[in-house]
Amino acid sequence: MTFDDFKRHFEIFSQIDSAEKLAICEIQYQNHLLEIEDTKYFEPDRDDVKIKQVQNYEKNLYKIFGLDTIEENKIYFLIRPSFEPEHLLLLEKLPEKFALTHTTLIKSYWTTFYADNSNMDCERKVSKTVLNSAVGDSLFKLLEKTIMDARPPKVKKLVLDGVVYMLLKLSDGERKIVSKHSPDENSGSGQVIRIAKQLIDNIERLDDPAILSNLQVAMVKLQGK
């Protein structure tokens, strides 16, 4: 969106009839551009900006999914919807292939936690498959790069409901966690999430050459940006 386009939209709600209003419009446009830039990246996860209840919920959720002790050569993709069951996609690098495991809770743990924060008894469904070394390596590198490229947002904004996406990895003994809250699906971060969702949706059919080819093309295209 050009500044002229933004200005026209601004004037739908407030006519620019002074230098002060023009300055406000220009500031809002710059923030708009920064917000678009922010959507390209995941962000380093920060406990210090979360309320205590959310911290405790995440601590329990990590234990439920085994994320309290993560391991080398694995990348964990945790998906936390506001009102639906949480689920985890685990990618593990093996000698000649990659193992992919999807674990989904039958019931939203947030609902359980809200009623009784000591209850960690959760029924779950687990699906497993393997990826060939070419597709698995592309996926591992894409998720690894997403973690390494993560940066704090330039524009602070509050997002209430939606879905929180978290990537976790142990790198040289250091636990790295990055997250993104409901980005635009066409943004850089949104396209990474889309690929993970395609893996989850097709986890029972990842031996299909057409599905693997489409995933590989999408990953190569994204990594080339």
pLDDT digits (tens, 9 = 90+) for 40-50: 999 999 888 78
Q: Which amino acid is at 81?
A: P
- 91 has a pLDDT exceeding 90: yes
Q: Which amino acid is at 147?
A: I
Instruction: Name the strands in the sheet holding 74-81, side by side, starting at the edge strand that comes first in the sequence.
Output: 43-44, 174-181, 163-171, 74-81, 87-93, 98-105, 124-131
pLDDT of residue 31: 86
8-27 pLDDT per residue, tens: 888 898 889 999 989 998 98
Residue 183 to residue 119: CA distance in whole angstroms: 31
Please answer whether residues 112 and 119 qualify as being in contact, where contact means their C-beta atoms are separated by less than 8 angstroms: yes
The rounded percent of the chain whose pLDDT value lies above 90 is 67
112-162 pLDDT per residue, tens: 998 899 999 999 999 999 999 999 999 999 999 999 999 999 887 766 678
DSSP 34-101: HHHHHTTS-EE--GGGS-HHHHHHHHHHHHHHTTTS--TTEEEEEEEESSS--EEEEEEE-SSSEEEE
Arithmetic mean of pLDDT over the chain:
91
pLDDT of residue 36: 84
Nearest to 62 by CA among 116, 129, 115, 113: 113
pLDDT of residue 160: 67
Per-residue pLDDT, averaged over 21-40, amounts to: 88
Residue 209 to residue 215: CA distance in whole angstroms: 10
pLDDT of residue 159: 66
The 10 Å Cβ neighbour count of residue 24 is: 14
81: phi then psi, degrees, rounded to nearest 5? -70, 160
Please answer whether residues 100 and 130 qualify as being in contact, where contact means their C-beta atoms are separated by less than 8 angstroms: yes
Q: What is the DSSP letter of 4?
A: H
- 187 has a pLDDT exceeding 80: yes
pLDDT of residue 50: 84
Structure token digits, residue 200: 């989850």
pLDDT band at 225 (very low <50, low <70, confident <90, very high): low
Structure token digits, residue 31: 């923030």
The rounded percent of the chain whose pLDDT value lies above 70 is 98
- Give Cβ neighbours of residue 144 (< 8 Å, ≥ 6 apart): 75, 169
Residue 106 to residue 125: CA distance in whole angstroms: 7
Coil, strand or helix at 205: helix
Q: Which amino acid is at 133?
A: S
State how far Cα 33 lies from the chain centre. Answer: 21
